[in-house]
Amino acid sequence: MPKLSYDGTFNVRDLGGIPTQDGKTTKAGVFIRSGNLDKVLDTSQQALIDYGVSTVFDLRSEWEQENYRNVFADNPQVVYQNLPLIKATLMEQSDDDEQDKTATIYDRYITYIDSCQAQIKDIITTLVSIQGTAMFHCHAGKDRTSITSALLLGAVGVSDNAIADDYGRSRDEVDHLIAEMTTYLESQGRDTSLVERMMTAEPETMLKTLAYIRDTYGSVDTYLTTCGVSDETLAGLRVKFIE
């Protein structure tokens, strides 16, 4: 799963090349995960298109897209879709986590897993249906993007440890966001401990999240079925994403 580096992008990598538990490998050039795409230079946009990107899926809220516009929304060479993983009311609830000093990023993930099932169905179904390379992202490329990545990888038989390792790679990619958030909170006289709690990407957090999915729903596959993802879509994902 090579890291991809283009001016104006961060936390970008292809989800290909990851071994599955039955000895196969995920295909490169199918799914690319990323951080925000509001500052991607024209040359980098073209380089990603040349890499094969045909569709860009924006998992951020409509507010985020309006205020930090994805550059690909205005690029006629790709299809752009805003598919928010989190509804506005839940986004507001997540923002209120700052007031609860015991809230962790794991708590936030479990809320998303349990409360965002309709959106997850739409995201997974749409990702599987497109031709060419799909690029998906949120703000940091760490939370909403990692949940989506974990479900895609888990559904094709990638081990929890490999999924968690991929998740952990995000921590070193978001230092600039940590600095920005810390500076902003300090300027507002607000508690900066939120940054430490919510900007982590420890592999153990993803392992706990995957364990929760299994304990509560049975498996990643049965969780996605609970969300409304069809058996046909899951079969299509395996054909599309496995060498």
Q: What is the reported pLDDT for 90? A: 65
Express each pLDDT in 74-85 by its tens digit: 999 999 999 999
pLDDT > 80? residue 69: yes
- At 99 the pLDDT is 57
Predicted structure pTM score? 0.93
Cα–Cα dist 157/161, whole Å: 11
Looking at residue 133, its pLDDT comes to: 97
Q: Output the CA torsion 22→128→228→218 (10° steps).
A: 20
> What confidence tens digit (pLDDT) does each residue in 148-189 have?
999 999 999 999 999 999 999 999 899 888 898 899 888 988
Asked whether residue 129 is assigned to any structural domain, the reply reads yes
Report the pLDDT averaged over residues 50-76: 96
Question: 17 lies in which domain range?
Answer: 13-241
pLDDT more than 90, % of the chain: 79
Quote the pLDDT of residue 95.
Answer: 55
pLDDT of residue 97: 52
Q: Per the domain annotation, does 108 fall within a domain?
A: yes
Domain membership of residue 3 (yes or no) is no
Q: Confidence class of residue 3 from pLDDT cuts 50, 70 and 90?
A: confident
Query: CB–CB of 83/57 below 8 Å?
Result: yes
Residue 75 domain-assigned (yes or no) = yes
Q: How far is CA 200 from CA 32, 120, 171, 177, in A?
A: 21, 23, 6, 12
Instruction: Check residue 173 and give its pLDDT.
Output: 92
Say if 235 falls within a structural domain: yes
Q: Please report the pLDDT score of residue 190 as a whole number.
A: 84
CATH number (domain holding residue 202): 3.90.190.10
pLDDT band at 195 (very low <50, low <70, confident <90, very high): confident
The domain tally of the chain equals 1
For residue 130, pLDDT over 80 is answered with: yes
Report the pLDDT averaged over residues 214-234.
Answer: 98
- Residues in the chain, total: 243
Q: Enter the tokens of residue 6.
A: 């283009």
8 falls within a domain = no
In a domain, 37, yes or no: yes
- Asked, for residue 72, whether it belongs to a domain, the answer is yes
Q: Give the Cβ contact number of residue 166 at 10 Å.
A: 21
Q: Supply the mean pLDDT for the chain.
A: 93
User: In this predicted structure, what is the pLDDT of residue 79?
Assistant: 97
